[in-house]
Amino acid sequence: MTSSSRSDASGGRAIDLLICDVDGTLVDSEKQVAPATARAVRRLRAAGIGFTIISARPTRGLRYPVEVLEIDQPTAAFNGGTIAGADGTIIQAHQLANEVADETLALLCRHDVEIWLFADDEWRVLDPDGPFVPRERRAVGFEPVVVPSFGQARRVDKIVAASDDHAMLQRMEGSVGAALEDRARAVRSQPYYLDVTALRADKGHGVAALAEAAGIPLERVAVIGDGHNDVAMFRRAGLSIAMGQAAEDVRAAADHVTASNDEDGVAEAIERFILASH
């Protein structure tokens, strides 16, 4: 179902805040904010509607979109697990318990995947030449710290399993999530990334925290994303929009679908579903 009316899209409610996923949504395949997207965000602000971002990236990895779009509101990193001010100051953080992080590493080591650990504002890797390292380096904008082992994991924000075997990661999403039960959350942020975070480190809780920080009720919040980890925020917001290249089940979970991230999908969504009747 699609609509050109903001009122129709949100059930007659006005939208006062747009919260946008980053990779696969706000940025294109080259990890850049397209000019059309930047212009649409400026028009959004000119209309009195707030804008901020939520991402699986670490806080440091959000600096580029924050600076390019001049975001002055709190942002959410690690799938909503960390809320930070626009200057990067941590407001709140939900981390994995030490024993859960150790168990997660043991579970992931049973599979043929590339494993990363994010802790103490560092991105730690075992292999600096891992096949997914260049992709992540381009996304987050900083270098990994190479370690001989992860040892006993402490103060862990996120553990990632990366693989080109998307079907295997989908199976692992279920098996790892079941093994960790109610102690951690395992969800794919991209078809090639499986993220393990604290239970409250999900985009549903993250969107609620960002809305509270802005003083805006969730029914007046719009969200847009492309990944399975975005479905949690689709369920919480007054208006949800999926990117055109998202998986079928992700698109089905949203109120509306826009164009892909390489076709200025965020700009289209802002114009069609938020600004059209403002």
Question: What band does 13 get if pLDDT is binned at 50, 70 and 90?
Answer: low
CATH class of 98-197: alpha beta
Alpha-carbon distances of 150 from 39, 106, 159, 238, rounded to whole Å: 43, 11, 11, 41
Strands 82-84 and 75-77: antiparallel
Name residue, tokens 């938020």. 274
Q: Where are the alpha helices (DSSP H) in the chain?
A: 6-9, 35-46, 63-68, 98-108, 133-140, 166-180, 203-214, 231-234, 248-253, 265-269
Distance of CA 88 to the CA centre of its chain: 16
Split at pLDDT 50, 70, 90, the class of 152 is confident
Q: How many CB atoms lie within 10 A of CB 178?
A: 9
Provide the pLDDT for residue 230.
97
Domain 6-93+202-275 and domain 98-197, same fold? Reply is: no
Mean pLDDT score, 77-85: 96
The dihedral region occupied by 176, where left means phi > 0, alpha psi between -120 and 50, and beta the remainder, is alpha
213-240 mean pLDDT: 97
18: CB partners within 8 A, 6+ apart: 44, 49, 50, 51, 52, 221, 222, 223, 224, 270, 274
Give the span between the Cα atoms of 58 and 214, in whole angstroms: 21
What residue spans define the domains of the chain? 6-93+202-275, 98-197
Write down the pLDDT at residue 277.
63
Strands (E), the chain: 17-20, 50-53, 75-77, 82-84, 90-93, 114-119, 122-125, 145-146, 156-162, 185-190, 193-197, 221-225, 239-242, 256-257
pLDDT for the residue numbered 206: 97
Of residues 35 and 10, more confidently modeled? 35
CA 136 to CA 132: how far, in whole Å?
6
Does 239 score more than 50 pLDDT? yes
139 compared with 11, residue with greater pLDDT: 139
In our burial notation (b when 16+ CB lie closer than 10 A, e otherwise), range 242-259 reads bbbbbbeebbebbbbbbb
> b/e string for 40-58 if b means 16 or more Cβ within 10 A?
bbebbbeeebbbbbbbbbb
Average pLDDT, the chain: 93
* Mean pLDDT value of segment 6-17: 62
Q: Label the pairing between strands 239-242 and 256-257.
A: parallel
C-beta of residue 203 within 8 angstroms of C-beta of residue 232: yes
Q: Which of 159, 240, 226, 141 is nearest to 190 (CA)?
A: 226
Sheet holding 82-84, edge to edge: 75-77, 82-84, 90-93
The average pLDDT across 101-107 equals 97
Enter the CATH code of domain 6-93+202-275.
3.40.50.1000
Interatomic CA distance for residues 15 and 9, integer angstroms: 10
Interval 122-150: pLDDT, tens: 999 999 999 999 999 999 999 999 999 99
Q: What would the two tokens of residue 46 be?
A: 């000119």
Which residue, 151, 160, 147, 153, is CA-closest to 113? 160
